[in-house]
Chains A and B, each alone.
Chain A
Amino acid sequence: NAGVTQTPKFQVLKTGQSMTLQCAQDMNHNSMYWYRQDPGMGLRLIYYSASEGTTDKGEVPNGYNVSRLNKREFSLRLESAAPSQTSVYFCASTGGEQFFGPGTRLTVL
């Protein structure tokens, strides 16, 4: 039982490059989330998926897209990375209590 896993752990991109952050959970949770964490800002919700096949915008969705591939997997895509997207990204899933993945530290140069 791995909980919530994320790949990659670290990534450096140049402005304009694209990438996909992967997230998977093995707890059979319906709801999954993507947050970004910036110093002094707490965690801000980017997108969430209440169930397989549905996605909704959170507080800061601009510049991101998501895919709920199946019940286990929820990916986050940056189509054209910008320096403002330099952050630590956390995936989470919930079955009442929210469990977090280990995070992806992304730097956009």
Chain B
Amino acid sequence: AQSVSQHNHHVILSEAASLELGCNYSYGGTVNLFWYVQYPGQHLQLLLKYFSGDPLVKGIKGFEAEFIKSKFSFNLRKPSVQWSDTAEYFCAVNEGGTPLVFGKGTRLSVIA
């Protein structure tokens, strides 16, 4: 069965620091990849997605992610975080139309 690993449980950064959150998945076939964000007390919202094509994907709010097939990775990046980026971030993967499999999430705390 497909599985998703998010390496960092909790990341604490100062404002303006750069962010990279790791995500690895287990399946070697054709996958769709997603990053979701959950702000405190809210539901999940899509940040960005990769289905095919350019492996560097740009999403909302200045986030981007790079799909590296050889490493089974889809890491999330942002050059300069803001306090408002404080949230929990989830990586997810599926194959075709199968249900999404989520990682356990990474909590990001941005301090002034």
Binding site for B on A (CB under 8 A): 31, 33, 35, 40-45, 48, 50, 58, 90, 94, 97-103
Contacts and interface: CB of A to CB of B under 8 A. Distances in A.
Given A40-B9, A90-B43, A97 B90 contact: no
B47 to A, nearest CB: 11
A42 B104 contact: yes
Q: Is the interface of B mostly helix, strand, loop or mixed?
A: loop
A76 B80 CA distance: 41
Given A102-B43, A103-B43, A45 B99 contact: yes
Contacts of A103: 43
Contacts of B101: 45
Given A41-B104, A42-B90, A58 B43 contact: no
Nearest to A4: B43
A101 B38 CA distance: 12
Contacts of A99: 46
A97 B43 contact: no
Nearest to A43: B102
Given A40-B9, A40-B104, A42-B105, A100 B44 contact: yes
Contacts of A44: 102
Please give me the 8 A-B residue pairs with the lowest Cβ-Cβ distance, nearest first.
A42-B104, A43-B102, A42-B102, A100-B43, A100-B44, A102-B43, A42-B105, A48-B99
Contacts of B45: 100
Given A97-B49, A103-B43, A33 B99 contact: yes
A58 B102 contact: no
27 contacts: A31-B97, A31-B99, A33-B99, A40-B9, A40-B104, A41-B104, A42-B102, A42-B103, A42-B105, A43-B44, A43-B100, A43-B102, A44-B102, A45-B99, A45-B100, A48-B99, A58-B99, A97-B46, A97-B49, A98-B34, A98-B46, A98-B92, A99-B46, A100-B43, A101-B43, A102-B43, A103-B43
